């Protein structure tokens, strides 16, 4: 799909549904001439692997109606004008409920892109078991822009998590760092998952106190990398795999093979909206075996505690 000029509208048929794209020529990333039409095309192109991560989960929409340099807002509730065919889930919250979108198909992805949702953010638990996360996330952002620290830390975290019987995966965030994601079988609640993540981070920081920290306060971290496990809580979200980020050149949060992380050319913004579709078409999804990597935390916690007490 292509659009000329910032105005007008066009219609695309996606999975039997008609999605209207308004102002298809509006530039969302003006330095690169990336338009809303191109954003819609991108999300359609990566829909197959991306939907394996989106399907069945509530999401928050990070929207940039005036482009990535303009004002933004997080939309957690589904606006009344969204079409009826978009899946909604009623989510309990303090004092009531919230209707949240669930992206189950390519048409919904296209519709969200037309709403200038650059970046979908996902719950770590599925809608049918909101209190049982099936993902654990370690967010690794360097104190500056030294991605070599992230690369080293991700490797050490992988060694530890593998040692206790888990199957960690790695993804660039498209921002400053990387996420190490651990697929879970959904048998543990958020308190147990967060407790495990915190214990693992503290053990690793204890082994490398000059490089790593779990100190929440920035002014007490020095130049150490912060092992952030705060996302592992009910109603918290994490950037979706293959999501576009609101930074110059439209970088993408990109799942990697672990071997790719050793490539010095791979940084947090190494992959963009314009090259990820070819990557997916040629190499597939490095996280294609995610379901088979799910593990229980019960035995892993026993092993972790034994390491900590050893």
Rg (CA), the chain: 20
C-alpha span between 301 and 132 (Å, rounded): 16
Evaluate if pTM is beyond 0.85. Answer: yes
C-alpha span between 112 and 40 (Å, rounded): 8
Structure tokens at 243: 């999501």
Q: What is the pLDDT along the chain (310 residues), one digit of tens a residue?
A: 544 446 789 999 999 999 999 999 999 999 999 999 999 999 999 999 999 999 999 999 999 999 999 999 999 999 999 999 999 999 998 888 999 999 999 999 999 999 999 999 999 999 999 999 999 999 999 988 899 999 999 999 999 999 999 999 999 999 999 999 999 999 999 999 999 999 999 999 999 999 999 999 888 899 999 999 999 999 999 999 999 999 999 999 999 999 999 998 899 999 999 999 999 999 889 999 898 999 999 999 999 999 999 7
Phi then psi for residue 253, to 5 deg, are: -70, 110
C-alpha span between 241 and 174 (Å, rounded): 10
C-alpha span between 65 and 25 (Å, rounded): 13
């Amino acid at each position: 799909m292509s659009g000329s000029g910032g105005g007008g509208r066009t219609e695309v048929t996606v999975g039997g549904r008609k999605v209207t794209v308004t102002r298809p020529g509006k530039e969302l990333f003006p330095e690169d001439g990336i338009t809303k039409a191109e954003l819609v095309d991108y999300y359609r192109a990566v829909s197959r692997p991306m939907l394996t991560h989106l399907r069945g989960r509530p999401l928050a929409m990070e929207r940039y109606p005036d482009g990535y340099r303009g004002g933004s807002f997080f939309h957690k509730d589904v606006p009344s004008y969204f079409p009826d065919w978009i899946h909604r889930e009623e989510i309990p919250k303090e004092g009531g409920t919230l209707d949240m979108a669930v992206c189950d198909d390519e048409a919904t992805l296209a519709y969200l892109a037309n709403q200038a949702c650059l970046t979908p953010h996902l719950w770590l638990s599925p809608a049918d078991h909101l209190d049982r996360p099936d993902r654990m996330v370690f967010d690794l952002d360097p104190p500056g822009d030294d991605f070599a620290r992230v690369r080293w830390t991700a490797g050490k975290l992988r060694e530890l998590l593998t040692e206790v019987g888990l199957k960690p995966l790695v993804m660039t965030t498209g921002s400053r760092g990387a996420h190490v994601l651990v697929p879970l079988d959904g048998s543990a609640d958020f308190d147990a998952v967060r407790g495990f993540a915190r214990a693992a981070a503290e053990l690793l920081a204890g082994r490398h106190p000059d490089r790593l920290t779990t100190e929440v306060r920035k002014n007490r971290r020095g130049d150490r990398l912060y092992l952030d496990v705060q996302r592992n809580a009910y109603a918290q979200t994490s950037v979706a795999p293959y999501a576009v980020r609101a930074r110059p050149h439209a970088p993408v949060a990109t799942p990697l093979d672990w071997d790719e992380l050793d490539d010095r050319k791979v940084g947090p913004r190494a992959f963009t909206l314009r090259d990820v579709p070819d990557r997916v078409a040629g190499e597939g999804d490095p996280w294609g075996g995610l379901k088979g990597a799910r593990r229980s935390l019960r035995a892993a916690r026993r092993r972790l505690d034994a390491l900590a007490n050893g």
